[in-house]
Structures are given as C-alpha cells and as structure tokens.
Structure 1
C-alpha cells in the first residue's frame, strides 16, 4: 500500500509542476497534496510542522496567482477583458502546435481582449504587455515553488528509501 501511495504522491508532484503553467490546475497546491499523501504512508513519519508550513506557502502562492497578473494589467492600464484574454490565450497557446505558443498565446489573448474592450491599439498593446508580464511572474513563482516541493519530496524519498523498499 505504501508503494501505491508513493506513486500517487509522485504523480501529484508532477501534476503540480505541470499545473504551474495551466490556469485550471493550482500547481503548488497540487504538489502539496503530493507531499501530504507521501506523509500519509506508514514508512514516512508525519511531520505536521513541515506540512503546515508548506501548505501556507502553497495557499499564499495560489492567492498571489490571482493578484499578480491583475497588478500587472492594472499597472499598465489594462482591464478585466485583458486578463480573461490572457487566460484564454494561454490555453490556446498550450494546445497550438507552434513553438513558443505558451509565451505568444497569453500576449495575443490579452491584446485581443483589450481590443474587444474598445481600447485603442496603443493602450491595448501596453495593457497586453502588462498582463503578459504579470502572467510570466506568476507562472515563474508557481513553477519555482512546485520544483522546491518536488525537491523536498525527492529528499524525503531518498532519506527513507531503505524503509520504502524493504
């Protein structure tokens, strides 16, 4: 049963890293669920302090994920339509076969969203750039936290590997 839980935990860790780029999946929170499942095994002792601290970090990043792009958009004069366009552009960019779609998609989506909001082209371009910068900053932070959580998972796995594979 422990091996099954460890495999499920590892899958959640990988999903957390992938979720750093997908707006529908909260990356760090998903990675934290992986850490929780890992600590629920019989071979790894439960460390509540560790789990609470990592949960607070994951929750804080999840909240910031909604605030950072909004700050970027507002700072550069954008609107809600630009932020929605950024999210739609990200999904389209991920699904498109073009190289760099994950980078081009959010920018083009924000630009189209701002233009649909009756903004002038220059203002729409500036807002799209702000939305794009906010998206990049938010994604980078989520990705780094998910990688750190994955590193913590690996460290604990190596620490208890003798007991796991007994």
Structure 2
C-alpha cells in the first residue's frame, strides 16, 4: 500500500509542475495536497511549525512571483492595467483555444487587445506590450518552477 501512497504524493507534485504551463491548474494547492496527504498516509510527525511556516512563506512567494513577473514584463514594455488584464485573460483562455502554442500566443494577444481596445495605442506599441507579457510569463514559469522545486526538496529533507 505504501507504493500507492507514494504514487499519489508524487503525482500531485508532478501535477503542480504541469500547472506552471497550464495556469488553470492551481500548482500550489497540489503541492500542499501532496504534503498533507503524506502526513495522512504516513505521519505528520516530521512537519513541525518550522516546516509549515517555511512552506507558507514559499506559497506567498509563489503568488508574489506570479503577479510581479507579469506586472514587470508588461510595464517594462509600456503596458498598463489593460495590458495586464488582457495578458491574464489570454493566459487562461489561450491554451484551450490553441493547444500547445496558446500558452504563449494567448497572453500576447490578450495584452495587445487590452492596450489597443482600452487605450487606442498604435499597433507597434501594443506589440511591444504583448512581447513584454510573454517575457513576463516565461520569467514567471521559470521563477515559480525554482520555488516549487525548493519546496519539494525541503519536503524530502524534512521527511
């Protein structure tokens, strides 16, 4: 039965990494579920207040990294809140409309549309904002991937 338990825990961790590419999957919840299920299946004994505090800080860091990298990417290339919202909507919708490539095309088109519709910016400026949103997204995936990896490594060090 132990193999089944480990399979579930590790599958949840893998799903958390899939959530980096498909943002509709709440990565952090799958990681926390893996930690909690480990406690349920085996023991909560290794998880003291220090473990939960550190993991909680990493969760806050994950949310912050997601927001800040997108914000910096769009703002650096001249975007506004309209570009940020468009990018976010495109990020959620893109993968469903255009499988595989939608994860990059969605935020790009969303940011471009947001800036063009709301602020009537010229096409060249909106393209720069779209590029910024893609750079922000890729930076976010990389940053969150590292944070999640650190969370998992810490988990295995504790147990």
Task: Identify the TM-score tier after normalising by the shorter chain.
Answer: 0.7 to 0.9
**CA distance in 1 between partners of 2:26 and 2:144 (Å):** 9
Report if aligned partners of 2:77, 2:132 keep a CA contact under 8 Å in 1.
Answer: yes
Cα offset, 1:7, TM superposition: 5.2
Report if aligned partners of 1:93, 1:101 keep a CA contact under 8 Å in 2.
Answer: yes
Cα offset, 1:150, TM superposition: 4.6
Change (3 A) 1:29 1:63: farther
Partner of 1:79: 80
Query: Scaled by the length of structure 1, what TM-score is found?
Result: 0.74
Cα offset, 1:2, TM superposition: 7.0
- C-alpha RMSD of the superposition: 2.9
**CA distance in 2 between partners of 1:83 and 1:51 (Å):** 32
**2:112 is the counterpart of 1:111:** yes
**Structure 1 unaligned residues grouped into runs of 5+:** 161-166
Cα offset, 1:137, TM superposition: 0.8
Query: Scaled by the length of structure 2, what TM-score is found?
Result: 0.77
**CA distance in 2 between partners of 1:149 and 1:41 (Å):** 19
Report if aligned partners of 1:17, 1:28 keep a CA contact under 8 Å in 2.
Answer: no
Cα offset, 1:78, TM superposition: 0.3
